[in-house]
Chains A and B, each alone.
Chain A
Amino acid sequence: MSDKFEKNLRDHLHHEAEEIREFPRQLRGRIREGITPRARPRMAPQLALAGALVLVAFAVLVARNPQVIIKDVPSAIKQILQPSPTPTPQPFTCADRSGGTSGLAAQLTAIRTAHHAETPGFDRIVFDFSDGIPSYDLTRQVTSAFVKDASGQPVTLDGSAGIKLVFRNASVQGVADDQKPRLTAVREIAQLGNFEGVLSYGVGLSSSQCVRVLELTGPSRLVVDVTTSASASTSPAPTPLPTTPSATDLTPFACQDLAGGSSNGPAMRLTQVRVAHQAAGYDRIVFEFAAPAGVTPYLPTYTVSRQASAKFVKDPSGQDVTLRGSSGLRIALHGASGADSYTGSRDITPGLPVLQELEQLGDFEAVLSWGAGLGRPSCIRTLELSNPTRLVVDIQTP
């Protein structure tokens, strides 16, 4: 039973819930902290005891053989203080990287750049840290356009491709927000954000290039080498940069109506409708179907039509219905019905970044139609999946 009061209640709950516009960054930080193992304080007395034993042993050694002070200690100290040698060069790879130490807080003290002409030629960016290398993600991208953290402002750096570096639990001091080394590959390095312990930088590259990342100690530094020639990036063979937001083999988004499926056969039975936002940059609707007994499963013929408003006409009543949002998608399946098989909600208001509402518009004479209210006009793609039979409609989000 659904009446006006229930509709008001539903609207009220959504309105109240949406007062929280985004997931708080500090809460994300608290969760991260909560899942990061901490050093056990119980170890402190054990470490103190171990230290004391070492000192006693050292004193005994010195008393028996004073030469050890003159000969061995300086060389040992020198060895400890010497910066770690650059490890054997690793191959350049055309992939994103993550690393650093989770939960470690560190301060970025300098960003240095230089061109190295030896074969293979590369440009080097060095991020110097005071206390170890914090957790980081390096992401390659096919443009030099970035979005600034917190403000959401777009910023385009010099070049035609880019790298984004995000450091967690990191602060920065005495480092210029924007550097333009204008090297062969590395053209510009700009800070994109410094908020709640998340420090991010964009690197503008002259073209899409492969990289290698080195984590060095004494002092702590993260080294990002960017190849300056195509031949340098062939070990191992470079993989193309992704052109779609997901790691899976997905078709690109298209700003047009889409159609597909196959006709013939008794009506497929709608069993589930699911919606979710995917962090890769899209809202996803999944229609899942089951075949009637004795029928080979197939995806019914479908059309996904984009429209400039969230107003739809219900089938077959002809009644107008206006969904949440300012634009819409009409998804029609010919040869499908959920009348006897679908028990879920027929009016879903998930409040996703773009998908605001999804409502069944009609289920009549084996024509099943749903309307999607969108917060903004968006490009779409469809996927046809089997086992179980599913139609997936992805809506690109900003």
Chain B
Amino acid sequence: MLMDPALGRVIERCRDGDRDAFEEVVDRYGLQLLRTARLILRDQALAEDAIQETFVKAWQRIGSLREEDPGPWLTRIAMNESISSYRRRHRFQALTERFGRLGGGKHEVSSEARLDLAHALDQLHPDQRAAVALHYYQDLSVEETARALKVPVDTMKSRLKTALRRLRQLTGSEEITP
């Protein structure tokens, strides 16, 4: 996607080291990126840290942004930061989850333990939540979501399908059979 001319001028000023121009970029994309990061990380403070890191990295790499819309570029950085942040801070939790799976096999969700969507989203793997957030919140196509998360399109299709199945299972929603 090409940049619109006004935005192109702002990016040019950023490349020249104009920090005020970069604040225009923050104003334009910051809120949606923060909301998306919050959906993935499930924590406001972590999301803010991830977005701060996103924009600082974007500033450092602004020279690498060519004649493309900065939106997808910033989204890629933000997704990377969000998922990395989650992994860094939840290593221990991830380990316990892995041992839990090895010992107990796949969890079955009883009808009494059905969760609402917010809690069900908490249970997803961050990669799945990122896919769900981009596809269903940012309304990116499957192809765009795959690009943002740097995975093949088929992998993304499968990831979305798995995430959706898991959410249905956790919330007790009936799955539509094709």
Contacts and interface: CB of A to CB of B under 8 A. Distances in A.
B139 A34 contact: no
A34 B38 contact: no
A364 B139 CA distance: 24
A32 B52 contact: no
A16 interface: yes
Given A30-B52, A280-B6, 10 more contacts: A17-B137, A20-B38, A22-B31, A23-B26, A24-B34, A31-B52, A137-B20, A277-B28, A278-B6, A343-B141
Interface string B43-59: 01000100110011001
Given A27-B51, A35-B55, A278-B6, A13 B136 contact: yes
Contact of A350 (B1, B136, B139): B139
Contact of B56 (A34, A102, A248, A345): A34
A32 B143 CA distance: 33
A16 to B, nearest CB: 6
In the complex, which of the residues B9, B39, B69 has the most CB atoms of chain A within 10 Å of its own CB atom?
A: B39
Contact of A345 (B117, B141, B173): B141
Contacts of B118: 12, 16
Interface string B1-42: 100111001000000000110111011101110111011000
Given A9-B132, A20-B35, A276-B71, A35 B19 contact: yes
Contact of B34 (A6, A20, A348): A20
A9 B55 contact: no
A380 B128 CA distance: 39
Please list the 10 inter-chain residue pairs (A to B) with the smallest Cβ-Cβ separation, ordered nearest first.
A17-B35, A34-B56, A13-B137, A23-B30, A35-B59, A12-B117, A345-B139, A23-B31, A31-B55, A10-B136
B114 interface: no
Contacts of A116: none
Contacts of B176: 1, 3, 5
A348 B4 CA distance: 20
A23 B34 contact: yes
B65 to A, nearest CB: 15
Contacts of B1: 272, 274
B178 interface: yes
B137 A35 contact: no
B167 interface: yes
Contacts of A251: none
Nearest to B129: A13
A3 to B, nearest CB: 5
28 contacts: A1-B176, A5-B168, A5-B173, A5-B176, A8-B117, A9-B132, A10-B136, A12-B118, A13-B39, A13-B132, A13-B133, A14-B137, A16-B38, A16-B39, A23-B26, A23-B30, A24-B48, A27-B34, A28-B27, A30-B48, A32-B19, A35-B19, A35-B56, A137-B20, A274-B69, A347-B139, A349-B139, A351-B35
A30 B49 CA distance: 9
B133 to A, nearest CB: 7
Contact of B136 (A6, A246, A279, A344): A6
Contacts of A208: none
A274 B69 CA distance: 11
A23 B36 CA distance: 12
A29 to B, nearest CB: 10
A36 interface: yes
A72 interface: no
A247 interface: yes
Nearest to B163: A9
A263 to B, nearest CB: 27
Contacts of A349: 139
A84 interface: no
A17 B39 contact: yes
Given A10-B136, A13-B132, A276-B28, A248 B141 contact: no
Contact of A17 (B4, B36, B48, B167): B36
Interface string A119-160: 000000000000000010100000000000000000000000
Contact of A31 (B9, B20, B56): B56
A165 to B, nearest CB: 14
A1 B38 contact: no
A279 B35 contact: no
A27 B56 CA distance: 12
Given A27-B48, A31-B26, A348-B139, A17 B38 contact: yes
Contacts of A344: 141
Given A28-B26, A279-B28, A135 B20 contact: yes
Interface string A24-63: 1001101110111000000000000000000000000000
Interface string A269-288: 00010101111100010100
A101 to B, nearest CB: 11
Interface in A170-214: none
Contacts of B143: 343
Interface string B99-129: 0000000000000000001100000000000
